[in-house]
Amino acid sequence: MVPLETIQHSSLPGFDVTIMFLQIGLQSVLESHCLPISRVLTTGKLQVQHLFWEPVVRHRYNMSHPMKLVPYTPRSDAAGELVLAEVRRRRQREFRHLCRLTVLGRLNSCWGRVDHSRILGKLPGQMLATSQGVPLLVRRPSLEDYVLLMKRGPTISYPKDIKAMLLLMDIHPGDTVLESGSGSGAMSLFLSRAVGPQGRVISYEIRQDHHALAKKNYRLWRDAWVIGHVEEWPDNVDFIKQDILTAAEDMKSVTFDAVALDMLDPQTALPIVYPNLKQGGVCAVYLANITQVIDLLQGIRTSKLPLLCEQIIELIQREWLIKPVRKKDSRLAPRVEAQQNVDEEPQQDEEYLVQEQAVIGGSEGDESLSEHVGSVPYIARPYPWQVGHTGEKCLDRTFIILNFV
């Protein structure tokens, strides 16, 4: 079992604000309590029991309501709950699959199969062995998981960027937000959650196929959500199939707290939308390259729009590998105290293994029981890849924060 203190801000050099997220079985518990957990940065060989967390979390955060631990519920039709199945080895995901649970369904992969009936009735966050004996982590997808794995038409706004945009737009529950275009519906879903049941999102999309897909992705998420949660996902997004450039008249009576634009030539939409943005309100514009950023700023300047460019941001997200150093025989390496002024040949016989061990079914055995804090050296380095759109080699997506002044 893991004490809550394990999840903490790290003080390793090179980290900005980094939060470790212990993945196995905890996501839905932590999310349902709004704990400040962000990314999966490391996993461990953890045996976590949900019930252990309830008194700890409730005591620490002074929560009076009961935990919302809803097991996977059987449904005979195809509209069951969403389940995310993952195979992880060497601290990386080798397989990730999102599907809907049905009584007769079966999850097939080259790691073996798992009948849905084995998942139904269980709490999410379980390890199940496939028919080939490979451990499969089965859990409820977070909104970020869903958005990354749902069917896509146009490119989505990437969740790492959406989360920052929501903060910078200062969106609160109860707000009214304008979005254009709906695209695949990724941004719409995050906006829907941010404004909550009292708020409203109005999302314009010019293309019929994208409009239909955004609506479908939104509906699928809501339908699956209500099966596995106590409260409903708000039905607060109005998807409108219309060119935003022709929507000035329709929007006349609405004042927006914020505007999110992710479309070609957003500078053409600004003169239409800014009169409905509240004074001091924020418009976030998501752009694919620097040429578009320049075009946008030039459009604002030449049209003399009362919009102040507050920030132009490219978000870089690095994930880190942190693991104990192991010897070649896979035993944990002991910490060696630094010695000063000692000329010594480097040891030839005890090479340390820097290859990663499998997360699941590793060979630590009982040795970890005798381990005490600080006795084992750790490797800590960023992974060589970055989270972002696959196409961009030098520049990821950029967003601009405009203030209506």
Please give the residue ranges that form the binding site for ligand SAM (CB under 6 A).
Answer: 154-157, 180-181, 183-187, 204-207, 210, 243-245, 262-264
Q: How far is the CB of 180 from ligand SAM (least distance, A)?
A: 5
24, two tokens? 């196995």
For the bound state, the minimum distance from the C-beta of residue 143 to ligand SAM, rounded and expressed in Å, comes to: 12
Please state, in angstroms and rounded to a whole number, the distance separating the CA atoms of residues 63 and 53. Answer: 12
Q: 9-25: b or e for each residue (b if 16 or more CB lie within 10 Å)?
A: ebeeeeeeebebbbbbb
Report the alpha-carbon distance of residue 201 to residue 194 in Å, rounded: 10
**Nearest distance from residue 287's CB to ligand SAM, in Å?**
10
Alpha carbons 163 and 176: distance in angstroms, whole number? 17
| Min CB(2)–ligand SAM separation in Å | 34
Of the two residues 250 and 367, which places its CB atom closer to ligand SAM in the complex? 250
Shortest Å distance, C-beta 247 to ligand SAM: 8
Nearer to ligand SAM, 157 or 292 (CB): 157
Contact 100, 42 (CB under 8 A): no
**Cα–Cα distance measured from residue 270 to residue 274, given in angstroms and rounded to the nearest whole number:** 6
Residue nearer to ligand SAM on the CB measure, 53 or 204: 204
Report the residue number, 365 or 391, with the smaller CB distance to ligand SAM.
391
Shortest approach of ligand SAM to residue 353 CB, angstroms?
Answer: 42
How far apart are CB 390 and ligand SAM at their closest, in Å?
15
Question: d(Cα 327, Cα 353) in Å, to the nearest integer?
Answer: 5
Determine the 3-state secondary structure of 384 from DSSP.
strand
**Is 364 exposed, middle or buried (CB count within 10 Å of its CB: 0-12, 13-18, 19+)?**
middle
Q: Which is nearer to ligand SAM, 265 or 367 (CB)?
A: 265
Length of the chain: 405
39 vs 167: CA distance, rounded Å: 17
Which residues, 6+ apart, have CB-to-CB distance to 353 below 8 Å?
A: 325, 326, 327, 328, 330
Of 309, 300, 252, whose CA–CA distance to 282 is shortest?
A: 309
Of the pair 185, 228, the CB lying nearest ligand SAM is at 185
Pick 243 or 314: Cβ nearer ligand SAM: 243
**With contact defined as beta carbons under 8 Å apart, do 84 and 97 qualify?**
yes
In the bound complex, what is the minimum distance in angstroms from residue 159's beta carbon to ligand SAM? 9
State the CB neighbour count (10 A cutoff) for residue 45: 14
Choice between 176 and 203, CB closer to ligand SAM: 203
Residue 362 vs residues 2, 61, 311, 357: alpha-carbon distances, Å: 18, 34, 46, 6
Q: How far is the CB of 44 from ligand SAM (least distance, A)?
A: 33
Q: Quote the least distance from Cβ 364 to ligand SAM, whole Å.
A: 41
Residue with Cβ nearer ligand SAM (20 or 187): 187
Which element (helix H / strand E) includes 282? strand 277-287
If the CB atoms of residues 305 and 321 are measured against ligand SAM, the closer one turns out to be: 305
- Rounded (5°) CA angle 167-81-95: 75
